[in-house]
Structure 1
Amino acid sequence: MSSTGFTVAAVVVAAGRGIRVGGGLPKQYRRVGGRTVLARTLAALAAQETIDRIQTVIAADAGAFFRECLEDLDSAARAKLAEPVAGGATRQISVRAGLEALAASAPPKVVLVHDAARPFIDAALVARAIEAGRAHRAAVPGIPVTDTVKRIEPLGDGIGRVIETPPREALRAVQTPQAFVFPALLDAHRAAAEAGLDGFTDDGALAEWAGLPVVVFEGDVANRKITQASDLIEADRALSGDAQPAGRAAMTQYVTRLGTGFDVHAFTEGDHVWLGGVRIPADRGVLAHSDGDVALHALTDALLGAIADGDIGTHFPPSDEKWRGASSDQFLAHACGLVRARGGRIDHLDITVLAEAPRIGKHREEIRARIAAIAGVPLSAVSIKATTTEKLGFVGRAEGLAAQAAATVRLPEETEDTLDAQAETAMRQG
């Protein structure tokens, strides 16, 4: 059960054969950055506190592959997994199998349907999906289309006559996770099956067929799908310790940028503080608009500083009630997504917490692991330290706590040139 009492489950579709990637092994069971694609997807979903249950749908003969994936997951992630069920010949049949399994055990109120081959999902996207699903009953994430799209009439031999050029402003490339009120999606799948239809490759389209109004919410360009062999290579580079940013050739030159961040919050009544995405018992809480996680706030600002993209208040203004009490992992995930959207790579994240109390020593490794999961970086790329101020200043008087952070990122030279040009333009206009 989620903290809001609103039950959310995820169906992960992993029954495909993934033959386009080659090599004889389905893409969801190939390893990227040392772990299988499916394990990375399941771990990313299981890390979200808002998701209560995960129902995986696999091929009938893939039990051994799935058990190997489980070895890549920690006990907390495995605890959220229901027993996998067998899928069918089409994606639609597989999704329905997952929905029926949930209906037979503990039907959720909201269900997310996600592709196993999208391991780069983050907390911010999950939060947007759940919010949109609750508010609109059927919602899919989409990103703007940057290429001009033509609708054609096929003439044969790979030739087609242009019929229409839709305006790009009205087009979106749809991703997963797609979010639905559970009973509505299950009814739609059952109706399609009764009608003899099993070719829907997108649950949003099936919902439209069933008469459900479907909305599109903001997707994430970093939430790419592994489809071709080149996608596996790029994902492995992005997730390996010596990785280059995905989608870039080996000859691309990179520049290193360092960003810093600082945050402070005063103490108030309470029984815990949030630090690095971990709830730590304390004799006081902090006064804040969101959850007051000084470590994640400072780290978010450090990443935004490294790409010269404002600060946390620019992206998540405290005047917006939407962010009151918000979990700060959304802020860090958003900043990481912005780095990757520019072809960048996060090399290292370093945080120093300044506080007389609470002590973080026994929580250090849990915090490192949580930050690594949110940022999608190896554990070795995260450092957290703590110090006091020798009884000096507001920290020394135990009136509050603070954190400072540094983030090292690499950006393609072309991105660096673009940022410099944007800065020059802003100076001319300002």
Structure 2
Amino acid sequence: MTAPLSSRASSGVAAVIVAAGKGLRAGGEVPKQFAMFRGKPLVRHSAQALAAVGVAPIVVAIPEGWDAVAQQALAGIAAVRLVQGGATRRQSVALALEALAPDQPECVLIHDAARPDLPQAVVARLIEALAGQAGSIPVLPVVDSVVRGRDGMRDAAVSRDGLYRVQTPQAFRFDAILAAHRAWDDAADAGDDAEVAEAAGLAVALVQGDERLRKVTFAEDFEETPVSERYPRTGMGFDVHRLAEGEDLWLCGVKVPHHMGLAGHSDADVAIHALVDAILGAIGEGDIGDHFPPSDPKWKGASSDRFLAHAVALARRGGFGIGNVDVTIICEAPKIGPHKQAMRVRLGEIMGIPADLVSVKATTTERLGLTGRGEGIAAQAVATLVPRFEEIEQ
């Protein structure tokens, strides 16, 4: 039985991502590898996919002058290193391989940043093929009829027998492909790394590719990412519940000792309810009552962490992560200070973000109003959502 990819990848498989081109055919103000695609920069998709299965290090070849943009696009992916690319794709790969040389990985995957959807099964097949060959590449058979054209007219049919479409990543034994690039004539260019390998006398195996590895090339390929998904969003929430005898007091998912608790259909965690409304407001998904109506008996006594997890999941499905949240609890009693850190940690656990992205504060109304008279507790919250590539990763 083949070992799981993660265990094999963590023992000697590195990667190169080629992201040093200008991407002019895609238009836009930045090279296409840094343009937003499905909620995050194009290059981040494949970097995350490789890091997720233990491939490390991952050297990304970038164009000169784009360091700051590349760092932001790849922030939080610990395995990533940046190197300035060359004038051609082959030169960029060669420079990235040289940057990997001190690590001496056993194998290396060489991938185009413009292919964001990277199935784990393809990577597994490529690495498996290296057991018997110096290189392996993913391919798909040509299924359409092929013709040769001349001056805009059909010239002659070409047999598609034995023809394949070549994809990336391409996998090689590291020492072999590094030597092949060092031996390559710099006056010539290469269509891909398999060509470099074959010029050095290396055998390259063909493995089954995947239609998901399609290349993002033109402006229309980015049209599925709406402008609304490229910028941060902010939402605000407010809630209030009355204090009652015989109820537990839950605030920010923490049970706080007090002689009274908050009354409500669920556990009446007023702070979480305000935060849920802030997140829902940021993504235009109504309010907590729309999703968890108090008239529905199944929510009676429900833990409010379920409501918060639901709101965060909706945001993520929409292409957004939690940038940071700020919750203010308004009451005369109990004292919130001793519990603030536990509240920050608990909210972070529910939302799947570090506690340092969560703020919990408390204030009073100087004994004015229902909170000042000790009749209830109010809370307000602000949530900032960011496109998923900017979300802080644990």
TM-score normalised per structure 2? 0.54
Q: Name which of 89, 92, 98 aligns with 1:91.
A: 89
The answer on whether the counterparts of 2:147 and 2:154 sit within 8 Å (CA) in structure 1 is no
Corresponding residue for 1:117? Answer: 114
Output the CA distance in 2 between the equivalents of 1:213 and 1:132. 11
Output the CA distance in 2 between the equivalents of 1:196 and 1:27. 26
Pair 1:36-2:41 in alignment: yes
Identity of aligned residues (%): 42
Structure 1: gaps spanning 5 or more residues: 241-360, 381-430
| Structure 1 residue 197, shift from structure 2 partner | 3.7
Corresponding residue for 2:71? Answer: 67
| Structure 1 residue 151, shift from structure 2 partner | 4.2
Pair 1:203-2:193 in alignment: yes
Corresponding residue for 1:231? Answer: 221
Output the CA distance in 1 between the equivalents of 2:131 and 2:104. 15
| Structure 1 residue 126, shift from structure 2 partner | 1.3
| Structure 1 residue 106, shift from structure 2 partner | 0.3
Corresponding residue for 1:22? Answer: 27
Decide which structure has the larger Cα Rg and report it: 2
Letter in 1 for 2:155: R
1:257-406 residue pairs with structure 2 within 5 A? none
The answer on whether the counterparts of 1:115 and 1:177 sit within 8 Å (CA) in structure 2 is yes
Pair 1:138-2:135 in alignment: yes
The answer on whether the counterparts of 1:90 and 1:198 sit within 8 Å (CA) in structure 2 is no
Structure 2: gaps spanning 5 or more residues: 230-304, 322-394
Corresponding residue for 2:155? Answer: 161
Corresponding residue for 2:80? Answer: 81
| Structure 1 residue 150, shift from structure 2 partner | 2.5
Output the CA distance in 2 between the equivalents of 1:65 and 1:185. 29
| Structure 1 residue 35, shift from structure 2 partner | 0.7
Computed over aligned residues only, the root mean square deviation of the Cα atoms, in angstroms, reads 3.3
Pair 1:175-2:167 in alignment: yes
Output the CA distance in 2 between the equivalents of 1:169 and 1:16. 33
The answer on whether the counterparts of 1:110 and 1:134 sit within 8 Å (CA) in structure 2 is no
Letter in 2 for 1:115: D
| Structure 1 residue 169, shift from structure 2 partner | 4.0
Output the CA distance in 2 between the equivalents of 1:151 and 1:215. 27
Residues 1:121 and 1:149: Cα distance change in structure 2 (over 3 Å): same
Task: Number of aligned residue pairs: give it.
Answer: 237
The answer on whether the counterparts of 1:137 and 1:181 sit within 8 Å (CA) in structure 2 is yes
Pair 1:186-2:178 in alignment: yes
Output the CA distance in 1 between the equivalents of 2:106 and 2:147. 39
Letter in 2 for 1:131: E
Output the CA distance in 2 between the equivalents of 1:35 and 1:85. 21
List structure 1 segments (4+ residues) > 4 angstroms apart after TM superposition.
Answer: 376-380
The answer on whether the counterparts of 1:2 and 1:8 sit within 8 Å (CA) in structure 2 is no
Residues 1:173 and 1:377: Cα distance change in structure 2 (over 3 Å): farther
| Structure 1 residue 2, shift from structure 2 partner | 6.4
Letter in 2 for 1:18: G
Output the CA distance in 1 between the equivalents of 2:187 and 2:95. 15
The answer on whether the counterparts of 2:16 and 2:58 sit within 8 Å (CA) in structure 1 is yes
Output the CA distance in 1 between the equivalents of 2:152 and 2:183. 36
SS in 2 for 1:56: strand
SS in 2 for 1:68: helix
Corresponding residue for 1:288? Answer: none
Letter in 2 for 1:88: G
Q: Deviations over 1:66-116 (max 9, x none)?
A: 022034x4xxxx22112x11111100000000000000x201110000001
